[in-house]
């Protein structure tokens, strides 16, 4: 994560946007008044929102975490799909 002042971000906005979108870099942009924002790609933001949604329900969270545990411990069945 890189930190830049607002004026630097304003002067280099196209370059910063390209780094964020192409390289998944993250930027903290801070004003003189010490207010800060984080700039991330739309793709990363959407992914974070989806993860939050999927984990927001206790039942769904428990099922997902159980599935991850099963995969990590190789406790699953592999099935071929007839296509």
Q: pLDDT tens across 36-48, in order?
A: 999 999 999 999 9
Model confidence at 82: pLDDT above 90: no
Provide the residue range defining the domain that includes 24. 2-40
| Token pair 């930190």 in the structure block, residue | 3
Q: 41 Cβ partners below 8 Å, 6+ apart?
A: 20, 21, 24
Q: Judge whether 20 lies within some domain.
A: yes
Instruction: Tell me the residue ranges of DSSP E strands in the chain.
Output: 2-5, 27-30, 36-39
**Do 53 and 31 belong to one domain?**
no
CATH number for the domain that contains residue 19: 3.40.1620.10
Check if the beta carbon of residue 61 is closer than 8 Å to that of residue 51: no
pLDDT for position 4: 97
Model confidence at 77: pLDDT above 90: no
What number of other Cβ atoms are within 10 A of residue 20's Cβ?
19
Percent of the chain's residues with pLDDT above 90? 80
For residue 78, name the pLDDT band (cuts at 50, 70, 90).
Answer: confident
pLDDT for position 79: 83
DSSP classification of residue 57? S
């Amino acid at each position: 994560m890189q930190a830049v002042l607002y004026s630097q971000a304003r002067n280099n906005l196209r370059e910063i946007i390209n780094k964020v979108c192409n390289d998944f870099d993250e930027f903290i942009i801070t004003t003189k008044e010490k207010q800060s924002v984080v700039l991330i790609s739309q793709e990363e933001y959407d992914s974070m929102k989806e993860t939050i949604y999927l984990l927001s329900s206790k039942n769904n969270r428990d099922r997902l975490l159980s599935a991850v545990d099963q995969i990590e411990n190789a406790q699953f069945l592999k099935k071929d799909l007839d296509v």
